[in-house]
Amino acid sequence: MSRTPDRLPIVVFSSVVRSTKQSESHGGVYLLDLETDTVKQMIDWDDQNINWEERGGDRGLRGIAFHGDLMYLAASDEVFVYDRDFQLQRSFKNRYLKHCHEINVGDDKLFLSSIGCESILEYDLITQEFTRGYCLRYSPLKRKGRKRLDRRGISWRPRPGLRIFDPNKDGGPAPGNTTHPSFPKCVDGTLYVAGGGLGNIWAIEGDRLVRGPKIPFEQHNAQRFRDGVLLNHSPTHRMIFEDLEGNVVKSFPVPVYDLEELEHANIPRDHAYQGFCRGIAPVNDNLIVQGSSPATINLFQFEPPRLLKSVNITKDVRNSVHGLEIWPFGEMA
């Protein structure tokens, strides 16, 4: 078991303000020093000096990833590249990048979830070009059957179809919404994909899908951790650790505030609610940083399970943590 580090890390996270009007801020990017509880907003999505037109401006900034000295921030349909001082260097798009959520780096490649096309896009960070796309989609029969079984309390985890396509050419996947493949992660050359509609973590090996650990539907950030799976489960307001068969082994409830403390608490739950869990960043095998709404960063100990620290940024229930990573550059920018 890893000991507690001499100093708690600095984390970088994005927040999305859901159910806002066009003239209001839709969130931004923050640095938080967990040692001192110092918070600094580095990017404001409502910054008038940045032209967000035609840049998915109504969905805020989401996934975060690092490669070398650069940071990659995903908006809905575009990726922004910043240096460690949060100076914008460039940006890039793709016709099949729609409603991007999480992004991750592996093997000098950036893997981007494209919820709107039910795909994972692969971007070569050396040549700076998109190289491959993977569409994971249920057939109408599998989608319809799974929904019917879910209503009866029976869980069916169908195998999605896998289509590999060239993201630089016409003829790629049409828009769809059957699998919600929101979390790609490349480990030792293998691409793993999880999502709210998949029911398993799937490994893409060559041109085939290999079924991995069971995960609940409506989860986020499912990833292998120790000898099981760590994931966020918003319906029950907690991060959970499961074994490979989907059995809950450990539970990590996130903070829930009194309604009198919250701003905009009367917004319908399908738009925004407290206890929405998003973002997982392990510090080591015994410390995990996790995000929840209203914009709160939580530091959990794995063994025994307990909340060590919680830092709240705002009590506006619309403000949800989304992307979350350990800041790799030492001091705060």
Residue 110 has pLDDT above 90, yes or no: yes
pLDDT recorded at residue 57: 45
Residue 330 has pLDDT above 80, yes or no: yes
Residue type, 220: H
Distance CA 39, CA 332 (A): 10
Write out the H or E segment, with its range, that includes residue 184. Answer: strand 183-187
pLDDT recorded at residue 268: 60
Residue written as tokens 């505030």?
A: 257
- Mean pLDDT for the chain? 89
Domain boundaries in the chain? 10-326
* Across 55-71, average pLDDT: 80
Lowest mean pLDDT among 46-55, 88-97, 223-232: 46-55
pLDDT digits (tens, 9 = 90+) for 282-294: 999 999 999 999 9
Rg (CA), the chain: 19
Burial of 206 (0-12, 13-18, 19+ CB in 10 A): exposed
Residue 49 has pLDDT above 70, yes or no: no
SS (H, E, C) 75-88: CCCEEEEEECCCCE
Paired tokens of 309: 């620290």
pLDDT recorded at residue 74: 95
SS (H, E, C) 265-293: CCCCCCCCCCCCEEEEEECCCCEEEEEEC
Distance CA 250, CA 327 (A): 27
Residue 129 has pLDDT above 70, yes or no: yes
C-alpha dihedral (14, 17, 18, 20), degrees to nearest 10: -150
Residue 58 has pLDDT above 90, yes or no: no
Question: What's the fold here for domain 10-326?
Answer: Neuraminidase (2.120.10)
pLDDT recorded at residue 5: 80
pLDDT recorded at residue 290: 98
Categorize the per-residue pLDDT at 18 as very low, low, confident or very high, splitting at 50, 70 and 90: low
